[in-house]
Amino acid sequence: MAAIKVLSSESRQGVREFLTEIQVISDVKHENLVKLYGCCVEGDQRILVYNYLENNSLADTLIGGRHSSIHFSWQTRTKICIGVARGLAYLHEEVRPHIIHRDIKASNILLDEYLNPKISDFGLAKLIAPNVTHVEGYLAPEYAIRGQLTRRADIYSFGVLLIEIVSGRCNTNTRLPIDEQYILERTWKLYERNELVALVDTSLNGDFDAEQACRFLKIGLICTQDSPKLRPSMSTVVRMLTGEKDVDGNTITKPGLISDFMDLKIRSDPTRPDMNHTSSNYDSSGSDTLENTTFTSAPSSQATRMFSQAYD
C-alpha cells in the first residue's frame, strides 16, 4: 500500500524543477522520516507517492483524537518524542544542504504499525502553493511577526509539539476556561508554580515517570523561549530527552506566547482607529531587521527551506 499526496495545481513550477526537488527529497532517508517512493506528473497535476503508515497522525490519534482506540502509554510517548527529535535533528544537522521543515505539527507526525513516529512534508518548499497558511499555535514569534525563518523556528514548533504529546491535548482549545486555552501559557504558569506534573495527560491514570514527564515539559519550554538564540539545537534537545544532558541547570526564560502576539497584532492593525500606538514591547531577541508579516503572509517559497547557514 502507498499514501498519495496531491499538490496544488496552482504551482507555477516547471516539470524539470519539480523533478529536481523530488530527487533531493527522495535522497533524504532516516528511520524517523516518511519515505518518498515516487511522483506522477501530468499537465499541471503533481502527485507524490509515500509509504503508507497504518496509524495515521498524532493529530488523528493522540492530540485531540479521543475517538481513537490507540492507547498511548508513557513509554510510547517517550519513544515518539525522541524519534521526532532525532528526525528533525537529522534534517537540521546531517543533511546537506540543511533542511528547515517549517511546518512541524501533530498532523505532520505519522505513526507506523508499531507507533514509531515519521516526520512528513519535509522538503516541500517549492512544491506548495503560495497561499498555503500555517497553524498559529506552532509558529515561532519571529517567523509569525517578521517572516524570519531559521532552524530555531522549527525548534519552537517542536517544543509546542512536545508539550502536546505529554499533555495529550492540542495547543489551543477555546472551549476551555480562558486561562487554560493556550497550552504554552498554561505550561509557563505551572512551571512558575513548580506544578508541571499537573499538565500530564490524565488518561495515563498516573502510570508515568513524573520526573521524566516534568523534564520533557521543561525541554518544551526551553525550545519555545522568546529569544531564538536561547533555543538549543535539535541534537542538544535529543541529548536532553534521553537524559544525556542535564536540563535543570538551564535558566528558562518566558516563551513567546500567542497572547503576546495577538495583542501586538491588534495594536498594530492599521484598520483600527487607534493608529498612533502601533509599537509594542514585544521582544524576540536575536532577530534581524526584516519585513513585518502576519501569520499567513510568510510565503511558502520560504517554507521548508534548504540552506547551509548557521542556526542564527
What are the catalytic residues? Answer: 103
Contacts of 238 (CB under 8 A, 6+ apart): 82, 85, 86, 89
Q: Which of 256, 69, 251, 57 is nearest to 165 (CA)?
A: 57
Cis peptide before 117 (omega within 30 of 0): no
- Contact (Cβ atoms closer than 8 angstroms) between residue 102 and residue 273: no
Strand residues in the chain grouped as ranges (E):
2-7, 36-42, 45-51, 98-99, 109-111, 117-119, 306-307
Q: Phi and psi (nearest 5°) for 255?
A: -75, 160
Whether the CA torsion 216, 61, 116, 140 is positive or negative: it is negative
Cα distance between residue 122 and residue 303, in whole Å: 10
Cα distance between residue 286 and residue 31, in whole Å: 33
- Contact (Cβ atoms closer than 8 angstroms) between residue 282 and residue 264: yes
- Contact (Cβ atoms closer than 8 angstroms) between residue 129 and residue 10: yes
Can you state the percent helix, strand and coil of the chain, rounding each to 5? 40, 10, 50
Cα distance between residue 312 and residue 298, in whole Å: 18
Q: Which residue has the cell 527522495?
A: 26
Cα distance between residue 249 and residue 109, in whole Å: 30
